[in-house]
């Protein structure tokens, strides 16, 4: 419970400090929040006791703590990356809101991950989603941003409706919403199968799996870059975590059913995400579709249904945080400095901003799964876990998709390194916070893969499908 309490306190402290600051000193809220959050992140690594609360609506153990810590690291990087953008004049009035909303969605994710029944799960999910719409519409004076907010709100309301319907069927057929009770009495009656399908469809919206992905691109494009990276990395990561926990623990009696479903959706998600990403010219839309494809890869770990499978999913999300935030960090730095977000604008970037280009290259290579960066290990372990369950053809399709994705990732590399440009983006210097964030991403990209102990650590905490 320490994570939740600390973070709630933190959000309130930020609110109070913001009230006390004089109009001229509002900027001070930025370093204060980031330092407090960094302390919170560190505190998360202190040993914690496993336990239950509220009649096991809430439960926590080392696995949950690790998932929350992974999200913390990602959020810390995003906060650092937002500094330049928050300093802009148009955001000056509502800096505190940004932090408070962001932190409260994170609290929602904590509760969602630690949930022991579907009520807590749903509460956490809504807390994690609804405030996001405010963030997506943060620049409400801009049509695109407002549109993103509305789209996110409507699609999440719809998906929540679907999800809730599924949950109500679960309750109706098993008489309980507690994971343990549901898991014990869940079988394959048509109503329960229907319940599961509605549940899964709702979750598919949240993780933006095909065919429930259509909201993603517009929302990602319209939102501010940092919100986009938050949506595509942290939200997606948290939703994947809880999806795998629920599938393994609650729906273990219909494994054969959800495995087929996941198999098909994995292929669709990877392939369609890739095919759409091929044609994108806007960097944010491009990363949006590529992140859809990445979600398809995550399903490969889920389908394994084993301890290795969960390990590979958590490991991949960790790697994905660093790779995608590296890419988004560069996009954000460039967008802040020049306002340019199209791939054409990146032509010849290497000649003016070599460090940013190199980090971008490493990030997209990591997303594509090219050694020696961490993405190679992440993908390799996902494929290994899917192959361990005998899904060789699925692995083959996935690796082919990785090859397709390499094409569009190479287009970015091509733009930065090979394409000629009369007037490339001028050389610029980022501020300290952005640089720290980018250095963290670079270190992560190299360290995670080669640090074999990390994989062991995750593996020791992971669980397989209960029998």
Cα 338 to Cα 216, 361, 428, distances in angstroms: 25, 20, 9
For the chain, state the CA radius of gyration.
21
353-392 footprint of another protein as x/- string (CB under 8 A): ------------x----xxx---x---xx-xx--xx-x-x
**Which residues 6+ apart lie within 8 Å of 228 measured at CB?**
219, 220, 221, 284, 287, 288, 328
**Options 45, 54, 396, 428; binder of another protein; rule CB under 8 A:** 396
Confirm if 115 and 124 have CB atoms less than 8 A apart: yes
Q: For the CB of residue 356, give the shortest distance to another protein in the complex, in Å.
A: 15
Q: For the CB of residue 225, give the shortest distance to another protein in the complex, in Å.
A: 27
Q: For the CB of residue 453, give the shortest distance to another protein in the complex, in Å.
A: 9
* Piece of the chain touching another protein by CB under 8 A; list 100-108, 123-131, 188-196, 400-408: 400-408
Please say which residue, 104 or 308, places its beta carbon nearer to another protein: 308
**DSSP state letter for 251:** S
Please say which residue, 34 or 386, places its beta carbon nearer to another protein: 386
Conformation bin of residue 463: beta by default, left when phi > 0, alpha when psi is -120 to 50: beta
Longest CA span, the chain: 68
* Piece of the chain touching another protein by CB under 8 A; list 123-131, 164-172, 197-205, 396-404: 396-404
Please say which residue, 161 or 390, places its beta carbon nearer to another protein: 390
**Options 52, 90, 431, 456; binder of another protein; rule CB under 8 A:** 456
Please say which residue, 325 or 382, places its beta carbon nearer to another protein: 382
Please say which residue, 308 or 332, places its beta carbon nearer to another protein: 308
**Options 318, 402, 438, 440; binder of another protein; rule CB under 8 A:** 402
Return d(Cα 322, Cα 328) in angstroms, integer: 10
Please say which residue, 143 or 403, places its beta carbon nearer to another protein: 403
Opening angle at CA 443, ends 355 and 374, nearest 5: 105
Confirm if 121 and 166 have CB atoms less than 8 A apart: no
Please say which residue, 339 or 452, places its beta carbon nearer to another protein: 452
Q: For the CB of residue 343, give the shortest distance to another protein in the complex, in Å.
A: 15
Please say which residue, 50 or 371, places its beta carbon nearer to another protein: 371
The three-class DSSP label of residue 282 is: strand
Entry field: residues in the chain: 467
Please say which residue, 47 or 452, places its beta carbon nearer to another protein: 452
Q: For the CB of residue 50, give the shortest distance to another protein in the complex, in Å.
A: 22
Return d(Cα 294, Cα 405) in angstroms, integer: 10
Q: For the CB of residue 371, give the shortest distance to another protein in the complex, in Å.
A: 5
Q: Tell whether residue 164 is a contact of another protein (CB under 8 A).
A: no
Q: For the CB of residue 403, give the shortest distance to another protein in the complex, in Å.
A: 5
Please say which residue, 171 or 380, places its beta carbon nearer to another protein: 380
**Options 395, 440, 441, 465; binder of another protein; rule CB under 8 A:** 395
413-452 footprint of another protein as x/- string (CB under 8 A): xx--xx---------------------------------x
Confirm if 335 and 258 have CB atoms less than 8 A apart: no
Confirm if 205 and 156 have CB atoms less than 8 A apart: yes
Place of tokens 């938050």: 230
Count CB neighbours of 406 within 10 A: 18
306-345 footprint of another protein as x/- string (CB under 8 A): --x--x----------------------------------
CA dihedral of 431, 434, 440, 443, whole degrees rounded to 10 = -70
Return d(Cα 71, Cα 321) in angstroms, integer: 8
Handedness of CA 193, 198, 201, 206 (dihedral sign): negative
Please say which residue, 220 or 381, places its beta carbon nearer to another protein: 381
The candidate with the shortest Cα–Cα distance to 367, out of 297, 429, 443, is: 297
Return d(Cα 127, Cα 188) in angstroms, integer: 31
Q: For the CB of residue 210, give the shortest distance to another protein in the complex, in Å.
A: 21
Q: For the CB of residue 298, give the shortest distance to another protein in the complex, in Å.
A: 18
Tokens of 240: 């994947």
Tokens of 310: 């969960």
Phi, psi of 89, deg, nearest 5: -60, -40
Please say which residue, 129 or 363, places its beta carbon nearer to another protein: 363
Confirm if 363 and 444 have CB atoms less than 8 A apart: no
Binding site residues, another protein, CB under 8 A = 308, 311, 365, 370-372, 376, 380-381, 383-384, 387-388, 390, 392, 395-396, 399-400, 402-403, 406-407, 410, 413-414, 417-418, 452, 455-456, 459
């Amino acid at each position: 419970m320490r994570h939740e309490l600390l973070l709630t306190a933190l959000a309130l402290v930020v609110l109070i400090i913001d009230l006390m600051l004089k109009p001229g000193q509002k900027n001070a809220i930025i370093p204060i929040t980031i330092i407090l959050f960094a302390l919170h992140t560190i505190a998360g690594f202190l040993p914690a006791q496993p336990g239950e609360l509220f009649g096991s609506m809430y439960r926590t153990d080392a696995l949950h703590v690790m998932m929350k810590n992974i999200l913390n690291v990602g959020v810390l990087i995003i906060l650092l990356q937002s500094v330049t953008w928050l300093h802009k004049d148009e955001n000056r009035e509502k800096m505190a809101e940004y932090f408070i909303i962001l932190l409260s969605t994170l609290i929602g994710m904590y509760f969602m991950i630690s949930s022991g029944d579907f009520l807590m799960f749903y509460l956490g999910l809504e807390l994690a989603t609804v405030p996001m719409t405010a963030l997506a519409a943060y620049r409400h004076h801009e049509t695109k941003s407002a549109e993103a907010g509305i789209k996110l709100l409507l699609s999440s309301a719809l998906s929540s409706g679907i999800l809730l319907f599924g949950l109500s069927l679960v309750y109706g057929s098993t008489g309980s919403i507690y994971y343990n009770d549901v898991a014990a009495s869940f079988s394959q009656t048509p109503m329960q199968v229907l319940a599961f399908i509605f549940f899964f469809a709702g979750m598919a919206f949240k993780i933006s799996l095909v065919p429930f992905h259509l909201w993603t691109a517009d929302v990602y494009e319209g939102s501010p870059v940092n919100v986009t990276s938050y949506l595509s990395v942290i939200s997606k990561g948290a939703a994947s975590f809880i999806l795998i926990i629920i599938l393994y623990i609650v729906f273990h009696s219909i494994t054969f059913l959800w495995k087929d479903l996941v198999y098909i959706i994995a292929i669709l998600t990877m392939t369609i995400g890739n095919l759409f990403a091929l044609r994108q010219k806007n960097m944010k839309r491009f990363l949006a579709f590529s992140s859809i494809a990445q979600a398809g890869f995550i399903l490969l770990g889920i389908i394994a249904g084993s301890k290795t499978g969960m390990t590979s999913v958590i490991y991949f999300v960790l790697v994905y945080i660093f790779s995608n935030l590296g890419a988004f960090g560069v996009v954000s730095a460039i967008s802040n400095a020049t306002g340019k977000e199209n791939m054409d604008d990146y032509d010849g970037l290497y000649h003016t901003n070599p460090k940013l280009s190199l980090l971008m290259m490493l990030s997209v290579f990591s997303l594509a799964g090219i050694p020696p960066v961490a993405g190679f290990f992440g993908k390799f372990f996902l494929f290994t876990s899917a192959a361990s369950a005998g899904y060789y053809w699925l692995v083959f399709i996935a690796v082919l998709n990785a090859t397709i994705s390499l094409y569009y990732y190479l287009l970015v590399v091509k733009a930065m390194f090979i394409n000629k440009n009369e007037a490339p983006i001028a050389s610029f210097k980022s501020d300290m916070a952005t640089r720290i964030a980018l250095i963290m991403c670079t270190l992560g990209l190299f360290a995670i893969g080669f640090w074999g102990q990390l994989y062991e650590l995750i593996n020791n905490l992971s669980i397989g499908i209960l029998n």
